[in-house]
Structure 1
Amino acid sequence: MTKFAAGASAMLLMMTAGLFVWMGAHSQDNLIPEAPPPPEKVETEGLPEAIFDDETIGPQPPTPPKAYKASREERRFNRYDRNRDEIVTRLEMMSSRTKAFKALDTDGNNLLTFEEWAVATSDRFTGADRDGNGALTRVEFRTTRPKRTASKCKC
């Protein structure tokens, strides 16, 4: 019971102190400074005025050319083609992807052309399209995901 009485009296004491602080802050005069007078109006007589006509504005700038929108496969191919010579070499492929590179390089010349890349992708799509209707359902699309291997932690 003494703890309750001590807590209640401490709370009453804190409320009284807060009341005194609030009353003291409220009684102070907060003077707001007056705003400065507005600036005087400047005379604009004698100043030149701009005339906007075709001679002063000039001709319209040329419209920029339309940017070529690369397909998804071309963007993927370009990620590997570092020197932009339209050929992906073994050095340009990541070293962990050597096995995949050899599978895509059908003529075995250690050069991967866009056609070889596109044929492999088309074959992958055809293999996933089980019903042969030219469209992948969610279940069919899920089969195109690369197989995950157990990753080794390099902690």
Structure 2
Amino acid sequence: MGAGAAVQLALAGIFLMRGSAASEPSVPPAPEAVLAATAADDPLPSEVPSATAKTRKQKRFDRYDKDRNDGISREEYLLSRRKAFAKLDVDRDGKLGFEEWGAKTTAKFGGADADKSGVLTRTEFASTALKPRPAKAKCVCPAAAPKDEADD
């Protein structure tokens, strides 16, 4: 009986060894797009591509042409000005007084004048500068495949 048990343990050990060797994770093949991108021998351009003047003009035209009829009417042309005027005309009387026109600037001055002296110091004046807008991503590139530490 002891010899039979020893044989069974030996066979179980062999099956366990083979099973653990087969269960090691294998690295899947790289996607076609990543292979194509890494295999390209084309050098990168020396300058950053930029939009052409025609593209900028077309975008500007499209912003004004609200009804997309390839023409800008007088109303479409003045719409942005009307919206700006409406934001400033706080009392909605159709007239823009000096206080309404300068309200935003007055509020900005008051907020910057930290010591409430009525005069902006250099430091206080520097706080009135426009904050730059964060840059928008121009393109979305595919994520790089994670590098396997076993390949090093």
In terms of fraction of residues, the more helix-rich structure is: 2
- The answer to whether TM tops 0.5 is no
- Which structure exhibits the higher relative contact order, with contacts defined as CA atoms closer than 8 Å and separated by 6 or more residues? 2
TM-score (normalizing by structure 1): 0.29
Q: Which has the larger radius of gyration?
A: 1
TM-score (normalizing by structure 2): 0.30
